Amino acid sequence: MKTYDFICIGGGSAGFNAARLAASYGKKVAVVDGAKQLGGLCILRGCMPSKTLIYAGEIMHHATHAARFGIKVGRVSADMKAMHVRKKRIIADFADYREQALKSGRFDLHQAYATFIDSHTIQLSNGEVLKGKHFLIGTGSKVSVPDIPGLKETKTWTSDEVLDLDFVPKSVIVLGGGIVATELAQFLNRIGSEVTLIQRSTHVLREHAADSAKVIEQAFRDEGIEVITDTKLTSISSGKGGVAVKFEQAGKSSIRRAAHLFNALGREPATDKLGLAAAGVKADDKGQIKINRWQQTSVPHIYAAGDCSGPVEIVHIAIAQAEVATRHAFRRKEAKPVDYSQLLHVVFTDPQLATIGLDEKKLKERGVKYLSASYPFNDHGKSILMEANYGYVRVFAEPKRGRILGAEIVGKDAGELIHCFSTPITMRATVRDMLRAPWYHPTLAEIITYPLEEIAEKLPRRKPAR
At residue 76, the pLDDT reads 94
The pLDDT of residue 110 is above 80: yes
Burial grade of 331 (CB within 10 A; 0-12, 13-18, 19 or more): exposed
Give the span between the Cα atoms of 122 and 9, in whole angstroms. 10
302: helix, strand or coil:
strand
Give the span between the Cα atoms of 383 and 380, in whole angstroms. 6
Q: Tell me the mean pLDDT in the region 346-356.
A: 97
The pLDDT of residue 377 is above 80: yes
User: Which domains occur in the chain, in start order?
Assistant: 2-142+268-338 (3.50.50.60), 159-265 (3.50.50.60), 341-458 (3.30.390.30)
DSSP conformational letter for 462: P
Please give the backbone phi and psi of residue 201, each rounded to the nearest 5 degrees, phi first. -75, 175
What pairing do the DSSP bridges indicate for beta strands 242-249 and 344-347?
unpaired
Averaged pLDDT score across all residues of the chain:
95
At residue 112, the pLDDT reads 96
Report CA Rg, the chain.
Answer: 24
Q: Tell me the mean pLDDT in the region 162-167.
A: 94
For the segment 385-420, what is each residue's pLDDT rounded down to a tens digit?
Answer: 999 999 999 999 999 999 999 999 999 999 999 999
Contact (CB, 8 A) for 348 and 185:
no
What pairing do the DSSP bridges indicate for beta strands 242-249 and 252-258?
antiparallel
Q: Which helix (H) or strand (E) holds 315?
A: helix 315-329
Give the span between the Cα atoms of 82 and 161, in whole angstroms. 17
For the segment 202-252, what is each residue's pLDDT rounded down to a tens digit?
Answer: 999 999 999 999 999 999 999 999 999 999 999 999 988 899 999 999 999
The pLDDT of residue 290 is above 70: yes
Contact (CB, 8 A) for 69 and 9:
no
At residue 2, the pLDDT reads 94
The pLDDT of residue 466 is above 60: no
At residue 322, the pLDDT reads 97
At residue 41, the pLDDT reads 81
Q: Tell me the mean pLDDT in the region 315-326.
A: 96
**Under 8 Å CB-to-CB from 240, ≥6 apart: which residues?**
none
For the segment 46-94, what is each residue's pLDDT rounded down to a tens digit?
Answer: 899 999 999 999 999 999 999 999 999 999 999 999 999 999 999 999 8
3-state helix, strand, coil in the chain (%, to 5): 35, 25, 40
pTM to 2 decimals? 0.93
At residue 36, the pLDDT reads 85
How far CA 92 is from CA of 86, 95, 140, 391, in Å, comes to 10, 5, 20, 35
At residue 39, the pLDDT reads 82
